[in-house]
């Protein structure tokens, strides 16, 4: 036994031992890298949770769970306006810093857009384009489609497919339920949003709101979810067995867009001229003023899919959060309703965008405050630090780092907003209201600002002004959230939300019920 033991000690077996030095060396290098990232890299001076110094996994986990908005806001509340949220990620919550980053192409979009949101079989769109020159080209081409003069030209379509259809649907429910109806306002606004984009960009009435056919809605929600996961875990989304349902929905949306473009081009060829003015036609007619280039069918397809995705969910959630806030603050609801009804006593005509914006200052303040407190887009806005790095609030951020704009944290920064957890439209009515409005980043800012924001504003004013005039709104007696349920600072508890790309109610079926009836002013 002793001889065998000594033989085992002194006999070297290279085929058994040679791998261990390699593994030990690799482990040592890995540990050294972790220690460097955590304690010696240029980002090591930036405050943040210890575990986030070593890995991006805590950040990715919160993103996958749809909690980035609340997670980043909590970190900024604890650590300040510049926070290290990953081993190579820094988050900002001061709007001046954020506008600095967003104001120039020197801070390009991050890898998640290039490797995640863009995918095989689809050309890049205005949202996914990382290359600054591609982004500039797309914006030159698309800008006229969302210009104010175009919005005025299509306002009738927006009314017919939007608030006009919504009023018909709600009136029908009120009549069916005996003068007072319980509806789900999240569903109503979401379906209406799809009908509006269907009319403007797909030349068809999806009729989701009145008929209840949610097939297109389901396709888009699957597509948005898949896009979010592609951005967060691109390696997983590329596996053929993963996300099959979502990939099938994305393929269905692509076929719908292909058919739409082919049909419009065929109609133009047969008629010899455009048949109508809508956003689809604007894309077909678009010509780059600098190069003379026009869109290819695939490029048009990519943009109308983006419009259906971004133009329906974001605006519908803005409306949802605004109604939630009004129901949670009855005094504010009463004041804005009185303003609308006093300004537009003639109920025989629809309140137009121009009339609403010029005669309803308190409604404007309500919309801005809702976008501040509960932004419909509060997902991660990722940018790359420029070549040579940058300095923000004295911190060095090297060129291999990602900078994230936390919209939720910006909008609740106590250094920028008094009583930030409280819904207070008055902050947008004072002498500095214009500056305050610029601090609301729900449409982003700078060179990549949301190109469809004018359409969103048209829908917001048209819907809110007309429903506040026509209907009395209240919460059901068993509503789980409302003015009766307060948080630790005495403000109404908000409906739980999740944020993948857009920020939406987590449980809309139970949390977004509303009692509606025709207003008592002669309707």
Question: What is the bridge-based pairing of β-strands 181-184 and 513-518?
Answer: antiparallel
pLDDT at 246: 83
Please, are residues 466 and 353 in contact by the beta-carbon 8 Å criterion?
A: no
What one-character-per-residue DSSP string does 305-363 give? Answer: HHHHHHHHHHHHHHHHHHHHHHHH-HHHHHHHHHHHHHH---TTSPPPHHHHHHH-HHH
Residue whose pair of structure tokens reads 């949610």 in the numeric block: 214
Q: Which residues are annotated as a binding site for heme?
A: 450
Please, are residues 461 and 164 in contact by the beta-carbon 8 Å criterion?
A: no
Question: What is the bridge-based pairing of β-strands 402-405 and 89-92?
Answer: parallel
Residues 6+ apart with CB under 8 A from 419: none
Please, are residues 410 and 63 in contact by the beta-carbon 8 Å criterion?
A: no
> What is the distance between the alpha carbons of residues 283 and 281, in angstroms, rounded to a whole number?
5
CA R_g for the chain: 26
264-301: burial string, b at 16+ Cβ within 10 Å, e else: beebeeeeeeeeeebbbbbbbebeeeeeeeebeeebbb
DSSP 8-state assignment for residue 426: G
Options 3.40.50.800, 1.10.630.10, 3.40.50.2300, 3.40.50.300; CATH of 111-382+422-518 = 1.10.630.10
Please, are residues 326 and 481 in contact by the beta-carbon 8 Å criterion?
A: no
Residue whose pair of structure tokens reads 């650590």 in the numeric block: 79
pLDDT tens by residue, the chain, 523 residues: 444 544 554 455 555 556 877 778 787 787 777 787 777 789 999 999 999 999 999 999 999 899 999 999 999 999 999 999 999 999 999 999 999 999 999 999 987 776 555 555 567 889 888 899 999 999 999 999 999 999 999 999 999 999 999 999 999 999 999 999 999 999 999 999 999 999 999 999 899 999 888 899 899 888 878 777 777 777 776 777 778 888 888 889 999 999 999 999 999 988 888 878 899 999 999 999 889 999 999 999 999 999 998 888 899 999 999 999 999 999 999 999 999 999 999 888 999 999 999 999 999 999 999 999 999 998 889 999 999 999 999 999 999 899 999 999 999 999 999 999 999 999 999 899 999 999 999 999 999 999 999 999 999 999 999 999 999 999 999 999 999 999 998 999 999 999 988 999 999 999 999 999 999 864 3
Burial of residue 42, with CB atoms counted within 10 A of its CB: 0-12 exposed, 13-18 middle, 19 or more buried: middle
The answer to whether the Cα torsion of 463, 465, 466, 467 is positive or negative is positive
CA 332 to chain centre: 26
Please, are residues 363 and 52 in contact by the beta-carbon 8 Å criterion?
A: no
The three-class DSSP label of residue 437 is helix
Tokens for 306? 């983006």
Tokens for 198? 């269907």
Tokens for 435? 């500056």
CB neighbours (10 Å) of residue 8? Answer: 9
Please, are residues 480 and 511 in contact by the beta-carbon 8 Å criterion?
A: yes
Tokens for 229? 């996961």
């Amino acid at each position: 036994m002793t001889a065998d033991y000594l033989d085992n000690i002194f006999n070297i077996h290279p085929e058994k031992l040679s791998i261990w030095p390699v593994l030990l060396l690799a482990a040592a290098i890995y540990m050294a890298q972790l220690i460097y990232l955590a304690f010696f890299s240029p980002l090591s001076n930036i405050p943040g949770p210890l575990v986030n110094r070593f890995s991006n996994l805590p950040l990715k986990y919160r993103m996958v769970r749809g909690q980035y908005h609340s997670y980043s806001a909590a970190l900024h509340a604890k650590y300040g306006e510049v926070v290290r949220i990953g081993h190579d990620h820094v988050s900002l919550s001061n709007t001046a810093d954020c506008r600095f980053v967003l104001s120039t192409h020197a801070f390009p979009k991050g890898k998640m857009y290039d490797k995640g949101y863009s995918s095989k079989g689809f050309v890049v769109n205005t949202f996914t384009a990382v290359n600054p020159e591609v982004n500039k080209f797309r914006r030159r081409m698309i800008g006229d489609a969302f210009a104010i003069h175009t919005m005025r030209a299509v306002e009738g379509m927006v009314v017919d497919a939007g608030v006009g259809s919504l009023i018909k649907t709600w009136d029908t429910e009120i009549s069916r339920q005996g003068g007072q109806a319980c509806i789900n306002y999240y569903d109503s606004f979401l379906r209406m949003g799809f009908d509006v984009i269907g009319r403007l960009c797909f030349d068809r009435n999806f009729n989701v709101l009145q008929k209840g056919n949610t097939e297109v809605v389901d396709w888009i929600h699957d597509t948005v979810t898949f896009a979010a996961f592609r951005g967060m875990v691109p390696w997983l989304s590329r596996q053929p067995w993963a996300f099959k349902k979502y990939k099938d929905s994305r393929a269905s949306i692509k076929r719908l867009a292909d058919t739409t473009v082919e049909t419009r081009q065929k109609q133009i060829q047969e008629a010899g001229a455009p048949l109508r003015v809508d956003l689809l036609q604007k894309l077909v007619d678009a010509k780059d003023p600098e190069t003379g280039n026009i869109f290819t069918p695939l490029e048009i397809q990519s943009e109308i899919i983006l419009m259906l995705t971004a133009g329906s969910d974001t605006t519908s959630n803005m409306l949802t959060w605004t109604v939630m806030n009004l129901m949670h603050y009855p005094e504010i609801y009463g004041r804005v309703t009185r303003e609308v009804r006093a300004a537009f006593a003639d109920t025989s005509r629809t309140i137009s965008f121009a009339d609403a914006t010029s005669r309803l200052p308190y409604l404007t303040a309500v919309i801005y405050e809702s976008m501040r407190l509960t932004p419909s887009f509060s997902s991660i806005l990722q940018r790359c630090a420029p070549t040579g790095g940058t300095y923000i609030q004295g911190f060095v951020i090297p060129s291999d780092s990602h900078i994230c704009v936390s919209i939720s944290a910006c909008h609740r920064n106590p250094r920028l907003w008094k009583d930030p957890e409280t819904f207070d439209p008055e902050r947008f009515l004072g002498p500095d209201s214009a500056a305050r409005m610029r601090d609301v980043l729900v449409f982003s800012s700078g060179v990549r600002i949301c190109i469809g924001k004018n359409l969103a504003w048209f829908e917001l004013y048209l819907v809110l002004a007309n429903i506040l005039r026509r209907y009395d709104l209240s919460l059901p007696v068993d509503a789980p959230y409302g003015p009766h349920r307060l948080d630790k600072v005495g403000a109404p508890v908000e409906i739980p939300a999740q944020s993948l790309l857009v920020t939406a109610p987590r449980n809309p079926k139970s949390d977004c019920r509303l009692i509606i009836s025709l207003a008592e002013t002669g309707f």
